[in-house]
Amino acid sequence: MAEIDFALLKERFDYLTERESADHLAVNCPSEKLVEFCTVLRDEFGFDMLVDVTAVDWDARSPRFTGIYHFLSTSKHEYLRVAADCPDDINPALPTLCGLYAAANWHERETFDLMGIRYEGHPNLRRILMWDAYPYHPLRKDFPLAGIEVPLPAADVAEQTKASVIAAPMMGGPFVSSGDGPMSQTEPRARDESWTETKEKPTD
Amino acid sequence: MATTTKEFTIADASGRASEIEGEVPGETMAINVGPSHPTTHGVLRLMMELDGDEIEKCEPVLGYLHRGDEKIAENMTYNQFVPYTDRLDYLAPLANNVAYAMAVEKLAHLEVPERCEAIRVLCCELARISSHLLGIGVYGMDAGAWTVFMYTFTEREKLYTLFEELTGARFTTSYTRIGGVARDIPEGWLGRVLEFCNGVLPVIDQVDKLLTRNRIFMDRTMGIGVISKEDAIAYGITGPNLRASGFDLDLRKDRPYLGYDKYDFEVPVGTKGDCYDRYLMRAEEVRQSVSIVRQVIDKFPEGPYYAEEAKKIFAPPKSKILSSMEELIQNFMIVTEGPQIPPGEVYFEAENPKGALGFYIVSKGGGVPYRLKIRGPSFCNLSILDKMIPGHYLTDITVILGSLDFVMGECDR
């Protein structure tokens, strides 16, 4: 059983950089090299299972979005984390891995749905958890925890009931201390207090 | 009564058929199963196109149980999220609690004491038994065998009484904390678990007699919903569903956590990957889990049930909080600010009853995760549906869905 370490990968792919990780080996890969890198990972390094695809929104930082992939080698029983920054902060996009791993299909749809990352070349890039006409990407950091009012997915029901999908009331929402500052300011409070059911939603 | 057959011919039928240009379009029918339908075991919707009785196309629609767990997790402390993990695979909440706690502890580089590990192994295995008991029971029901459900559900009920004794809740257990478990095991509980173990094996044997060689059950499940080994790997299928396809991958064996390497157990592996194999896996896993439970109880370690040195992570037991100032402050800090977890990234997968439940956590330090991604095994296990179902008959849908044993709570999150 050959241990996979960073030097071994770096020797082969000089564009990789090591990524800080508390557990498994993790590498940063430029997005344009991702497909090439993953093809070799699957075919030569034995990472034959794509267990998870997700993305992180770094908020104010640029590059803002990082795609995260977790691979498992079913022969060596090792994990590998591959991170790829999206070059564009406004319209984040990454190449799809659907051609390599069938598992990527749904995972990428989910990441597109919740984080708004476009996977170029994906055969069926539609929302999977939210409904098709949903206008936002809820896992982005600028999306409020309470949600935003949107029309009901079914137009006929909306017309009859005059109802819409309203934001969740935040009163009594999760109470969390911010952790730093004097104790008077770190008193636990709901994290998104910008508006509640008694206080109007701020308009921008 | 004698029957007569009347023969007649249509003049120049082939000649007229050739006048129609191109391919004659066959009429297909669109059929919707779910989102609220007994066979879907939750709120899964299948949009299917049928040619006669045969399914041509199947498109699963998810999201009816999407609650935004990942967004919620980013907005609360690590311990506050434990109850939300109950609601992922709500048929094995204890196993979810353990998987989540272990992911965070890995990030904090925190080792829990032996006794805590033993308690957690017990939790995981009992959760597996309870989940599989239900899985087998309702699977029998899906295939038209009602009786099995009554037997397995009775056993599961006994297990829930044990859970209630241990955690205070039957269903939503929320038992683990970061760095330990909420409380030690009650007195005499281990004995009652053993009693349950002695009782559950005869029931599994009985189910075996009712189902495994049952002609109707075999005809309905054998050769149906076959997943090849290659497909299973490509689609990221895990758990009993993967092993039924003949691929030996069990994280308890291959990447031992919680000291699973100390216990002696077998991992059942199937050969064909059809619905019947998937049923067999679950029945055998119950037996193996019972064996693990017995081994754990056999050498149940003494000592603390939480990581005592992790002062910024685990709040001390209530009796200490009420009697000592330092513990009171410690409790206050952990409740208000959350357990202090160092910055970093971690991905941890545990072998849950339904497959590998993974947590990817990004921490920037402090008591709140910056990003938490849940990899629900049911989500991956269902992603093969649109490839697997076409070619089957509509009546097979019940059997195929039941054999995958999914839970929408962790699929939609």
Could you tell me the two tokens for B406?
């999914």
| Distance between start and end Cα atoms, chain B | 63
| Residue B333 in domain | no
Q: Are B71 and A143 a contacting pair at CB < 8 A?
A: yes
Of A9, A99, A96, A94, the residue nearest A46 (C-alpha): A9
| Residue B399 in domain | yes
Rounded CA-CA distance B75/A170 in Å is 12
Contacts of B24 (CB under 8 A, 6+ apart): B17
Residues B233-292 have pLDDT tens digits of: 999 899 999 999 988 889 988 888 888 888 989 899 988 889 999 999 998 999 999 999
Structural domain for B116, as ranges: 65-310+340-412
Domains of chain A: 6-120 (3.30.460.80), 150-190 (no CATH)
| Residue B86 in domain | yes
Is A161's pLDDT higher than 70?
Answer: yes
Residues A16-73 have pLDDT tens digits of: 888 888 888 888 888 888 888 889 888 888 888 999 999 999 888 888 899 999 999 8
Q: Are A54 and B254 a contacting pair at CB < 8 A?
A: no
Q: Are B77 and A176 a contacting pair at CB < 8 A?
A: yes
Per DSSP, the residues of B76-140 read: S-TGGGHHHHHTTSTTSHHHHHHHHHHHHHHHTT-PPPHHHHHHHHHHHHHHHHHHHHHHHHHHH
| Residue B47 in domain | no
In chain B, the percentage of residues whose pLDDT exceeds 90 is: 29
Interface test with A, best of B371, B388, B413 (most A CBs within 10 A): B371
| Residue B408 in domain | yes
Rounded CA-CA distance B290/B161 in Å is 17
Could you tell me the two tokens for B204?
């599994």
The residues with which B357 forms a beta bridge, in sequence order, are B350
pLDDT grade for A181, boundaries at 50, 70 and 90: low
Question: How far B233 CA lies from chain A's nearest CA (Å)?
Answer: 6
| Residue B45 in domain | no
Cut 0.90: pTM above it: no
Of B318, B304, B243, the residue nearest B279 (C-alpha): B243
Could you tell me the two tokens for B54?
């045969």
Residue B72: how many CA atoms within 13 Å on its side-chain side? 18
Taking a contact as any Cβ pair under 8 Å apart, which residues of chain B between 334 and 393 contact chain A? 336-338, 342, 344-349, 356, 358, 360, 362, 366-368, 370-371, 373, 375, 379-380, 383-384, 387
pLDDT confidence of residue A55 = 92
* Helix/strand/coil (H/E/C) assignment for every residue in A82-132: EEEECCCCCCCEEECCCCCCCCHHHHHHHHHHHHCCEEECCCCCCCCCCCC
The b/e string for B234-252 (b: 16+ C-beta within 10 A; e otherwise) is bbbbbbbbbbbbbbebbbb
Q: What are phi and psi of A165, to 5 degrees?
A: -80, 110
Domain count within chain B: 1
User: Which amino acid is it at A144?
Assistant: P
Q: Is B107 on the interface with A (CB under 8 A)?
A: yes
Q: How many contacts (CB atoms, under 8 Å) link A and B?
A: 126
Taking a contact as any Cβ pair under 8 Å apart, which residues of chain B between 220 and 249 contact chain A? 231, 233-236, 238, 247, 249
Please list the alpha-helical segments (H only) found in B273-384: 275-298, 318-321, 325-337, 377-382
Task: Give the CATH number for residue B147.
Answer: 1.10.645.10
Q: Are A114 and B70 a contacting pair at CB < 8 A?
A: yes
| Residue B8 in domain | no
